[in-house]
Structure 1
Amino acid sequence: MKITGKVRMLITVLVIVYILLPLLVIIPASFTRASFPSFPPQGFSFQWYVMLLDRPEFIEAFLNSTKFALLASLISVMLGTLAALALAKYDMPGKTYLVSLLTAPLTVPQLVLGVALLIYFTPMLLAGTSTGFLIAHIIICVPYVVRFVITGLSGFDYTLERAAMILGAKPITVFWKVTLPLIRPAILSGALFSFLTSFDNVTVSLFMVSPGMRTLPLEVFSQMQDAYSPLIASVSGIVIFISAALILVLEKIHGVGRMIGKSHS
């Protein structure tokens, strides 16, 4: 048993190292003094991070990514939460198929999804517009909210809602005072993953973006087609830091690790 436990621990460590290896390479490479990316880095310097302040295209792309990610996650939370509540509370024909339909973007390759959205949006004059771009991001974000909120409602005690109604509370009061506080961790987890999904997305964005609008991942993708410099590594380092910080904050407050564990159980 002890040997099996050690082997299991060794495999776990190797898998974690394998997953984190790209991050362990890109972050040190962003602090190099050299004019080309290298690992291990040649010297230590913040020069490439400082240079980002003189590159307005990256700053504008970062603001665009943040704006669209916030809007997409906000709308996705509203739509996904309402859909999850309806699916969890009410018996309806084809309920299983509705859940599969709402979470389908999680299983469909994003390349296929991007092509489909481009074909669908072009006759509607939404392709290459900010509105079409936002709708596309909402489509890929809603499944995370639906999945997390349904998971959060799996152990929900509906007698609490009925007790509040018996005591005279109105439906909106019951939702605001009873339901929402209990599923808030699930909603926040869905909002977090929606934000990160929108902020980091490249594949679907490539089909939806207009020539005059760039997001940070697309700007990095475009810059790498010409040359790969430590400046790109520094942008990647910032994205990694933002993603890790958001996950750590949510883990500290609500325990996103437990929420993910529930969703896979």
Structure 2
Amino acid sequence: MKILGKFRTILAVLGIIYILIPLVVVVPASFTSANYPSFPPKGFSLQWYTMILERSEFIEAFYNSLQFAFLAAFFAVLFGTLGALAIAKYDIPGKNYITSILTAPLSVPQLVLGIALLIYFTPMMLAGTSTGFLIAHTIICIPYVIRLVLTGLSGFDYNLEKAAAILGANPLIVFWKVTLPLIRPAMISGGLFAFLTSFDNVTISLFMISPDMRTLPIEIFSTMQDAYNPIVASVSSVVIFISVILIVVLEKIHGVGKVFGGTQH
């Protein structure tokens, strides 16, 4: 058993190193003073970070990413919370199948999902529009909210709602005063994870984007196709920094591991 435990620890350490290698390369490379990406970096300079402010396409793409990520997170929290409450509170026929369908985007490859959305949205004139882009991002964000809210509801005592109703509170007051405060951490965590998922997304965005509407990950991808210079590393480092901050906040609020935790009792 001790040998098996050590073997698992070694595998975990190797997995963490494998995941962190891109960060170890990209972030230092963004501080190079050379005109080409290098690792280890040639000298130290902040010129590539200051140059970001001179590139209007990156600034515009950054604001586009923030806007769509915020809206996608908002609608994902709204619909995901309603879906999770319905699944957890009501005896719906085929509840397990419904849960599987609602969380399917977690398991379906995003390349396949992007093609499916493009085929579905094209006849509806939504492909290449901001509305279609927002709907696509909301679809991939909802499963995370459902997972986290269901996890938050797994230990929920429904006698509290019954007690409030017996005391004369109407359903809206019961939800606002009893249910919402108890599931608020799960909702906030789901919103943060949804924001992060939308902000960092490339695959789905490639199918939904238009020439006049570009996000920061897409702008990075396009810049790399034309000429890979250290400014790509600096922009990527900014994205990494934002992602790390949100992950830390998420871990403090709810715990990252609970995203894939149990759904309900």
> Do both share a fold (TM > 0.5)?
yes
Partner of 2:256: 257
Query: TM-score, normalised to structure 2's length?
Result: 0.94
1:160 and 1:234 map into 2 onto residues whose CA distance is 51
Q: 1:33 to 1:256 in 2, by over 3 A?
A: same
**d(CA) in 2 for partners of 1:222 and 1:211?**
11
Q: Name 1:221's counterpart in structure 2.
A: 221
1:159 correspondence with 2:123: no
The 1:101–1:261 alpha-carbon spacing in structure 2 relative to 1, beyond 3 Å, is closer
**Per-residue displacement from partner, 1:180-227 (whole Å, max 9, x unpaired)?**
111112111211111111111111111111111100011011111111
CA–CA distance in 2 between the matches of 1:50 and 1:163? 59
For residue 13 of structure 2, what is the aligned residue in structure 1? 13
Counterpart-to-counterpart distance in 2, 1:121 and 1:3: 53
- 1:81-100 CA-partner distances (Å, limit 9, x unpaired): 00110011001122111111
3-state SS of paired residue (1:42): coil
Q: Superposition pairs for residues 106-145 of structure 1, below 5 Å? A: 106-145=106-145
After TM superposition, give the deviation of residue 8 of structure 1 in Å: 3.8
State the shift of 1:138 in Å.
0.7
Name the amino acid aligned to 2:256: G
Match of 2:197 in 1: 197
Distance 1:209 1:261 in 2: 29
Displacement of 1:258 = 5.5
AA of the residue aligned to 1:259:
K
- Corresponding residue number in structure 2 for 1:36: 36
Q: Deviations over 1:38-83 (max 9, x none)?
A: 1111111111000000000000000000000000000110000001
| TM-score under structure 1 length normalisation | 0.94
SS of structure 2 residue aligned to 1:54: coil
Query: Which structure 2 segments of 5+ residues have no match?
Result: none
Partners in 1 of 2:246 and 2:150 — Cα distance? Answer: 22
Is 1:67 aligned with 2:73?
A: no
The residue aligned with 2:237 is: 237
Deviation at 1:246, TM superposition (A): 1.2
Q: Structure 1 residues 111 and 257 mapped into 2: Cα distance closer, same or farther (>3 Å)?
A: closer
Paired residue secondary structure (1:24): helix
Do the aligned partners of 1:247 and 1:256 also contact (CA within 8 Å) in 2?
no
Gaps of at least 5 residues in structure 1 are: none
Could you tell me how far apart the structure 2 residues matched to 1:5 and 1:103 are?
32
Deviations 1:209-265 (A, max 9, x none): 11111000110111111111110000110000001011112323x242363473499
Aligned amino acid, residue 257 of structure 1: V
- After TM superposition, give the deviation of residue 9 of structure 1 in Å: 3.2
Identity rate of aligned residues, in percent? Answer: 69
Task: Give me the whole-angstrom Cα distance separating, in 2, the residues matched to 1:264 and 1:35.
Answer: 50
Asked if the contact 2:186/2:254 (under 8 Å) is kept, the reply is: no
Distance change >3 Å, CA 258–CA 212, structure 1 → 2 = closer
The 1:102/1:225 distance shift into structure 2, 3 A limit, reads same
The offset of 1:127, in angstroms, is 0.8
> 2:147, 2:259 within 8 Å by CA — same for their partners in 1?
no
Alpha-carbon distance between aligned partners in 2 of 1:212 and 1:12, rounded to the nearest angstrom: 43
Residues 146-205 of structure 1: CA deviation (Å, up to 9, x unaligned): 111111111111111111111112211111111111111211121111111111111111
Residues in 1 aligned to 2:261 and 2:106: alpha-carbon distance in whole angstroms: 18
Note closer, same or farther for the CA distance 1:48–1:17 as it changes in structure 2 (3 Å cut). Answer: same
Alignment root-mean-square deviation, CA:
1.7
* Equivalent pair of 2:27/2:237 in contact (CA under 8 Å): yes
| Corresponding residue pairs, total | 264
